[in-house]
Chain A
Amino acid sequence: MADSRRRTIIPLLPAQRLPSPAGTGVRFSSPPPLALYIHVPWCVQKCPYCDFNSHALRLGDFHSHGSNERGTAAIPESDYLAALIGDLESALPLVWGRRVDSIFFGGGTPSLLSGEAVDELLAALRSRLPLLPSAEITLEANPGTVESGKFAAFRAAGVNRLSLGIQSFNAKHLKALGRIHDDHDARRAIGMAASHFDNFNLDLMYGLPEQTLAEALADLDTALSYAPAHLSCYQLTIEANTAFAARPPVLPDADACADMQDGIEAKLAAAGYRHYETSAFAQAGHQCQHNLNYWQFGDYLGIGAGAHSKLTLHDRVLRQMRWKRPEQYLAQAAAGQPVQEEFAVDAADLPFEFMLNALRLIDGFDASLFESRTARSLFSIENQLRQAEDDGLIERHRQHIAPSDRGRRFLNQLLQRFLVERA
């Protein structure tokens, strides 16, 4: 065929909708707020319900670092510190120029770190990334591994919020959960936390093996007696690949757990705590900024072994995971290759991912938040929204969407409606 007879085909789609080779066909005008997560992957011992990336310290694991009074090995602190800083530096190009609004030391057991190590790390972060002056900086602590001096040092280093994994004040239940602390340790730790931090969180669990409603509420009463700024109350869930999954304990039935949840919510409301997320309650002004960022589908850079990141670039949402096993992470970070997995989220999956987070918020979200975080119009999920509204699972007021009381309780059923079927 002669060249002259060829027609030029002009694409009808606007150019910006054509995906770049690595992009996923979306276009973000501005990135969301950024949070920093630092993972400390060690614990004195692994709890049977825990499915986080944590590894029990065994005597002799890291001989050069000596051992503490419990007879367990200390963590390889200086190596890990160096790895975290190297990790951060290799990640800088992805978050260049962006401000960090909150920092969270999670684990594992971050309170195994020394005060000096936290200080050194925070200094290194401040020198490499702009940090919001009022940034919330949280550190998780295990009531079984705290000393007053250490809390003072954390505070001095800049940590301004402490989160204590109390779980229960009942010695029997703490034992069933495989915790290394008992009820005395729990009370002592809270006392210490309160003397150094005005802003602290207590984690409580309910639906524990053979727990009664009265016992669950007694735990809550004890917690409330310390007037924590924030409380997280979780129902114990048996997760895959945990000791509990292999040998399931006898748990209260679903109705008993629902009774506990009702009782807990009522008690907390009466005590002046706002229920703002599925399992989170706070006094006025003390919602956890770092976690709110997750639930508002903000960005986060996670450094440390097995840490996950979600980063919005101009044309895609990137998810990353750092090398999971601590030894491997140390080696890979030293080699400048801390990332084990990385992929761009399929644009079609962004609405579901947004909902998975944002519908956990009791107050819900504005349409504009959905649109800026997913680069999609809310209209793209109008069918699901209308159906959910008809079924009484969400409430809509103008441009605002929030789960109804029913939607909150049956969140899984609500979220399923936003799943995109894969071919």
Chain B
Amino acid sequence: MPMQHIRNFSIIAHIDHGKSTLADRIIHLCGGLSDREMEAQVLDSMDIERERGITIKAQTAALQYRARSGKIYNLNLIDTPGHVDFSYEVSRSLSACEGALLVVDASQGVEAQTVANCYTAIELGVDVLPVLNKIDLPSAMPDQARQEIEDVIGIDASEAILASAKTGLGVEDILEAIIERIPPPKGDPDAPLKALLVDAWFDNYVGVVMLVRVFDGTLRPKDRIRLMASGSTHLCEQVGVFTPKAVPRDALRAGEVGYVISGIKELQAAKVGDTLTLLERPAADALPGFKEIKSQVFAGLYPVESNQYDGLRESLEKLKLNDASLRYEPEVSQALGFGFRCGFLGLLHMEIVQERLEREFDQDLITTAPTVVYEVLLRDGSLLNVENPAKLPELSKIEEIREPIITITVFVPQEYLGNVITLCNQKRGNQVDMTYHGRQVQLVYEMPMAEVVMDFFDRLKSVSRGYASLDYEFKAYRAADVVKLDVLINGDRVDALSVILHRTNSIYRGRELAAKMRELIPRQMYDVAIQAAIGANIIARENVKAMRKDVLAKCYGGDISRKRKLLEKQKAGKKRMKQVGSVEIPQEAFLAVLRVGK
């Protein structure tokens, strides 16, 4: 297909604004899938994602569209991950496109993440076509939504297409606009190969599948390829496109989007943002924008029972096959035994991993409170990255502790503005900007990431009744007056319960934490003393009084099966708890710190 008849585009939309439905409509209209195959929203392939209404695994569809002019076009839809933790992946997907549809719910207006992704698109030189979706709803206010797009994002929205992905209204207009208003790709099919690795995932049969956008040159099976950032070389075994079903092709040429299979066994070797070139005739420079993914949030994952350690390791290995951003390494906790310290892109990523381990891999987990990475400058001048509070060196050796600061952008309807500002202030935020855009207010704060990791998402949702939206980006490391809070159970420090907190609220938090732990730890055969300590100072003490008896009052010759069941139930309940010393601690107690300070 000549390049003039190719269009590469993405869809930028907030969760629930109808991206998946619109993608399905477009695929359907172009004959990509039958009605039956349309039943499930095809672009969201994993259960958990479907439940949460997000897409983290980008997929793509190469579609044939016969335009009103009668000409046939090749439309490549490149899916983008829909969550705040995946901004780098979004930027790589967008840079593979010449255009993007900005889908805005006409009844709700723009949201923080949409705006952030839109800015990314504009920075990358991607043309943005506004689409006002859900126009069939009685609550739709297209004029206001149009105004917001112009105000907030600063692009012309006068030609925004009115559509309803649900009813199909306007979808053809969207396709026509893609052809007319998004430029065809440029590039030289005869130049040295330059292909952007947009996404990669692991397939049990063929190994790593790479989704690429070819900018220059041509890639054919049997070509020897080199990944310029990782430096590894591979033999290209197969190329093809997704319709969205995988269809092999004889070549991928400049301007095209498709998949490459080259016998790569490990996802880590195929880094998103890397550039593919030919070994024999390499490109002079790689495509811009590549970044190594860095974990932002860390937490310990431990099996509830120590004999499940191998099972957890195998599960993490399998999960990692398909999640290059997951990091883990073995860790030993005095309290919890053998487990793993895991690094995540953000909190949502952590929740997804946790949930997949529990649901798909049937692992019983103890998760410790998530923490950010602190930079610790020691007296001897060396700099240490601390991603586990228990590993914080002695205070006497520390010159300075630096914490990561992020810039957060919140969009919130005016009526909840006060609540959100109060919350941001509680979280040690510094206001950078506040702008009114019609119904909504855009707030920009600088805030310690540690505060966001604690419980910011949940609280932002609750104080705004779910209407606030959030985007964040890393800003800088800054010196901070933080302290380590330890928890002692029956006099023994439980390393897995240590947290790093800002000094100003550490005493208050410590007291609340001890009180919360008392609620969560059930009464046992012995007294359980819970203490919170900062250094050698005990700042709080709570006591879980021993229960006095646990015995069945009556037992005669009758039906013993019910007594047995009762005891089995009690025993099973205990098994779900972690034995620390002689104390049984329920899973949720390890995350108790997330539930204080409200």
Chain A residues near B (Cβ < 8 Å): 35, 37, 52, 234-237, 240, 254-255, 258, 261, 278-279, 291, 294-295, 300, 302, 308, 310, 321, 352-353, 356-357, 360, 406, 408-413, 415-416, 419
Contact = CB atoms under 8 A, between A and B. Distances in A.
Contacts of A291: 556
Given A353-B560, A406-B525, A413-B525, A279 B553 contact: yes
Among B523, B547, B574: residue with most chain A CB under 10 A:
B547
Given A37-B557, A308-B559, A408 B551 contact: yes
B559 A321 contact: yes
Interface range on chain B: under 10, 10 to 19, 20 to 34, or 35 or more? 20 to 34
A413 B525 CA distance: 9
Interface stretch (B59-67, B144-152, B565-573): B565-573
Given A254-B547, A321-B559, A409-B548, A237 B525 contact: no
B559 A410 contact: no
B536 interface: no
B568 A411 contact: no
A261 B566 CA distance: 22
A52 B554 CA distance: 12
Contact of B548 (A258, A295, A308): A258
A255 B549 CA distance: 9
Interface residues of B: mostly helix, strand, loop or mixed? loop
B548 A310 contact: no
B553 A415 contact: no
Interface string B113-155: 0000000000000000000000000000000000000000000
Interface in B537-593: 545, 547-560, 562-564, 566-568, 570-571, 574
A415 B567 contact: yes
A64 to B, nearest CB: 31
Given A356-B563, A413-B525, A416-B570, A308 B553 contact: no
Given A356-B563, A406-B525, A410-B525, A294 B550 contact: no
Given A406-B525, A416-B570, A411 B560 contact: no
Given A406-B525, A412-B567, A360 B553 contact: no
Closest 9 pairs between A and B when the two form their complex, measured CB to CB: A258-B548, A411-B551, A409-B549, A416-B571, A234-B553, A294-B557, A412-B550, A235-B553, A410-B550
A19 to B, nearest CB: 22
Contacts of A35: 557
A240 B559 CA distance: 13
A360 B552 CA distance: 9
Contact of B555 (A254, A352, A360): A360
B550 A411 contact: yes
21 contacts: A254-B547, A258-B549, A278-B551, A278-B553, A279-B553, A302-B557, A310-B557, A352-B564, A353-B560, A356-B563, A356-B567, A357-B555, A360-B555, A410-B525, A410-B551, A411-B552, A412-B550, A412-B551, A412-B552, A412-B570, A416-B571
Most central of B554, B559, B562, B570 by chain A CB within 10 Å:
B554
A56 to B, nearest CB: 20
Contacts of A254: 523, 547-549
B558 A52 contact: yes
Contacts of A237: 552-554
In this complex, the member of B523, B545, B549, B560 whose beta carbon has the largest number of chain A beta carbons within 10 angstroms is B549
B567 A294 contact: no
B318 to A, nearest CB: 25
B288 to A, nearest CB: 58
A294 B550 CA distance: 21
Contacts of A236: 553
A419 B571 contact: yes
Contacts of A360: 555
A158 B562 CA distance: 34
B566 to A, nearest CB: 8
Contacts of B564: 352, 356, 419
Nearest to B563: A356
A216 to B, nearest CB: 14
Contacts of B554: 234, 237, 279
B551, B563, B567, B574 interface centre (most CB from chain A within 10 Å): B551
Contacts of B566: 412
Q: Which of A236, A321, A419 has the most CB of B within 10 A?
A: A419
A79 to B, nearest CB: 24
Contacts of B556: 291, 294
A60 B559 CA distance: 31
Nearest to B559: A308
Best-surrounded residue of B547, B557, B568 (most CB of chain A within 10 A): B557
B194 to A, nearest CB: 58
Contact of B557 (A255, A261, A300): A300
Given A37-B557, A236-B553, A295-B555, 6 more contacts: A308-B557, A356-B555, A356-B563, A409-B551, A413-B525, A416-B568
A261 B550 contact: no
A409 B574 CA distance: 18
A323 to B, nearest CB: 14
Contacts of A37: 557
A411 B553 CA distance: 10
Nearest to B545: A255
A371 B555 CA distance: 22
Contacts of B567: 356, 412, 415-416, 419
A413 B559 CA distance: 20
Kindly name the residue among B555, B559, B564 whose own CB sees the greatest number of chain A CB atoms within 10 A: B555
Contacts of B571: 416, 419
Given A419-B567, A419-B568, A410 B549 contact: yes
Contacts of A408: 551
Most buried by A among B523, B550, B553: B553
A419 B571 CA distance: 9
Nearest to A393: B525
B419 to A, nearest CB: 38
A257 B340 CA distance: 44
A357 B525 CA distance: 22
A278 B548 contact: no
A416 B562 CA distance: 14
Contacts of B545: 255
A302 B557 CA distance: 9
A240 B552 CA distance: 14
Contacts of A258: 548-549
Contacts of B560: 353, 356
Contacts of B562: 240
A308 B551 contact: no
A208 to B, nearest CB: 13
Interface string B356-386: 0000000000000000000000000000000
